[in-house]
Structure 1
Amino acid sequence: MIFSVVTGGAGFIGSHLVDALVGRGERVVVIDSLAAGSRDNLGKHLDEGLVTLVEADLLGDGWQRSLAGATRVFHLAADPDVRQSAIAPDSQIRNNIMGTYRVLEAMRVHRVGEIAFTSTSTVYGEAAVIPTPEDYTPLEPVSVYGASKLACEALISSYCHSFGMKAWVYRFANIIGARSGHGVITDFIRKLREDPEVLEILGDGRQSKSYLEVSECVRAMLYAVDNAPSQYNVFNIGSEDWVDVRRIADIVVGEMGLTGVKYRFTGGERGWVGDVPRMQLAVDRMRTLGWKPEIGSAESVRSAVRAMLE
């Protein structure tokens, strides 16, 4: 039986990944501090004894023994708040970079040979080539979050080549759906519940990005693990189109059944410091492997809005 450890497995994407791993019949251990994740996201699996939860911070000790005998680690635990990283970067340096280093060290000590890591499209910075392929250079992140993820990628590459590990690195577009606790859709729903007449939109509303529903994301992650044989694999995961923020607002307003909502824009091409106004990833490498996204950005947004309203 395959034995997978999922750091951050009680969070948004992590819990959906756990659902899929359990569905594949794997033994699953989740390591999560529950600072951002929730035990409720794993409830049915915990109740049925299909998943073991180790409540721990990766910067602490004691959790490392949970890796003994594991086949691979899915490392999702991170501080994902891009906006906050421009205000107080210390959390992302510690939780993302040092957390990843400690996971890699625990893997080395316990002889776990495989790691799947969730990176981000923000490692590309403001790419001059859109859709952006995995071999695009130079990688010049404009946010501390993007920089921290790029540093993690470098650490993982070095451990693969130094200690014979194998890795799958996923550079995500905007992943959305049920259980998500942050992002533009969450913000819009919250704001409209507080004031159903006026919606504040950060920036000019023309920021255009790729979005992918979380179940499609998880399908791509597992497809890569099953079919990419190289020692160090890097894949973009996203849809093959994009949608702008104003269109997202229209979808949220419509799904909430509201009419006459006025939009108030804060102005400027960026929503916040470190925001990348235009982003779409090239997914040709995943297509060559045999995977392609089944839905586009607007459909992903609509599906996510409905799930989050439920």
Structure 2
Amino acid sequence: MAILVTGSAGFIGFHLSRRLLERGEAVVGVDDLNPYYDPRLKAARLAILESNAGYRHAKLDLADREGMAALFAETRPTHVVNLAAQAGVRYSLEKPEAYVDSNVVGFLNILEGCRTVQPAHLLYASTSSVYGANGKLPFNVHDHAVHPITLYAATKLANEAMAHSYAHLFGVPATGFRFFTVYGPWGRPDMALFKFTDAILKGQPIDVYGQGQMQRDFTYVEDIVDGLMAALSRPAAPNPAWDPQAPDPATSGVAPWRILNLGASRRVELMRYIEVLEEKLGRKAELNLLPMQPGDVARTEADTEETFKVLGYAPKTSIEEGVGRFVDWYLDYYGVKP
């Protein structure tokens, strides 16, 4: 395979690219190394990837139409995995245009590249945030998700619709993955686990939204990668049982397209997440309890029955194990003693 991975110097993109390289695949990574968070962390991830001869990097903004078209024409990837995006729910309230540029315009340029080279499979990141105002748990891909409550979620929902149109019109097999609260080593500094760890080690209070009563389906990053790896060689196909009179939102009768959840399939209270972190650090956190923030939801949980049926995907990593691995990485990377 010749696999193009966008966001390769980002959190999930780095882990996927490294796994692919370890398997002996040729990877073309795309990342503009923008300063949304500390670019030194991105540079450190990239240095690890570039130490492998099978990796080639393109420093490129997805919104660069000519640049992306030229990259597709030159590399002609057999598979494409889009993990690049302007991430973060709260930041979308501050800089909405960044989300449209990266998540909508950038994704269109990826679809146009796929239209040209016809890869065997396009995989792309969506998000559990698309379920939005839906209160039915666990979140099931066969339920309608049409009420996003943040612009970030709206752009990801747009990606799913855009991918369906290109799958239908141009036959590009496309699988969208709704990720659930991904965490682990090499995570983003704007994510809760990273911020909590940093504050606790510095003796500073941590901001805990929703009075600590929120529940999340925390999913370890390597479990996410397991799902992506399993999907690469299982391209989406039209669903022969699809009924246009009662359309299934997760599959299509007219296009090689599908939507799958990638999550741990368990709800964990935020306070339990913090307790595990305290245990691993050997320190207590000072809590600054705050109300829910705009765009937050009270609970998330993935129904992964369809994902297991299609991919044989079953997450393996407990919160205790995953948080412990993150803490070990953090202490080693930053040279901190707990």
TM-score normalised by the chain length of structure 2: 0.85
- CA apart distance, 1:113: 4.7
User: In 2, Cα distance between the equivalents of 1:298 and 1:233?
Assistant: 32
Q: 1:52: how far off? A: 0.4
Distance 1:183 1:58 in 2: 23
Report how far residue 96 of structure 1 moved: 0.5
8 Å CA contact 1:213, 1:304 repeated in 2: no
- 1:146–1:297 CA distance, 2 compared to 1 (3 A): farther
Inter-partner Cα distance in structure 2 for 1:186 and 1:155: 33
Partners of 1:227 and 1:107 in 2: CA distance: 17
Aligned length: 304
| Structure 2 contact 176–258 (Cα < 8 Å) conserved | yes
Residue 53 of structure 1: aligned partner:
57
Q: Which residue of 1 aligns with 2:240?
A: none
For residues 308 and 47 of structure 1, the distance between their equivalents in structure 2, rounded to whole angstroms, comes to 21
Distance 2:302 2:213 in 1: 18
Could you tell me which of 202, 213, 219 is aligned with 2:220? Answer: 213
How far apart in 1 are the matches of 2:278 and 2:56? 39
The structure whose residues are more often strand, as a share, is 1
Give me the whole-angstrom Cα distance separating, in 2, the residues matched to 1:67 and 1:286. 29
Deviation at 1:84, TM superposition (A): 0.9
Q: Which residue of 2 aligns with 1:262?
A: 286
Distance 2:320 2:149 in 1: 26
Contact 2:79 2:232 (8 Å CA) reproduced: no
Change beyond 3 A, Cα 1:210–1:297: farther
Per-residue Cα deviation, 1:87-122 (whole angstroms, up to 9, x for no partner): 221111111011101111122233435210010000
Farther-moved stretch of structure 1 (284-293 vs 31-40): 31-40
Secondary structure of the residue aligned to 1:146 is helix
Report deviation, 1:186. 1.2
Could you list the runs of 5+ residues in structure 1 that have no partner in the other structure?
Answer: none
Aligned to 2:117: 110
Q: 1:307 aligns with which of 329, 332, 337?
A: 329
- Where structure 2 has 5 or more consecutive residues not aligned to the other structure, the ranges are 238-255, 333-338
Deviations along 1:258-306, one digit per CA (max 9) or x if unpaired, are 14x432201x3x2x21011100010001122322111244543343333
Aligned partner letter, 1:70: P
1:22 paired with 2:24, answer: no
Tell me, yes or no, if the aligned pair for 1:120 and 1:149 is still in contact at 8 Å: yes
Partner of 1:62: 67
Q: TM-score, normalised by structure 1?
A: 0.92
Q: For the aligned residues, what is the CA RMSD?
A: 1.8
Distance in 2 separating the partners of 1:32 and 1:207: 33
Q: 1:291 aligns with which of 307, 313, 316?
A: 313
Aligned to 2:243: none
1: CA distance between counterparts of 2:260 and 2:145?
17
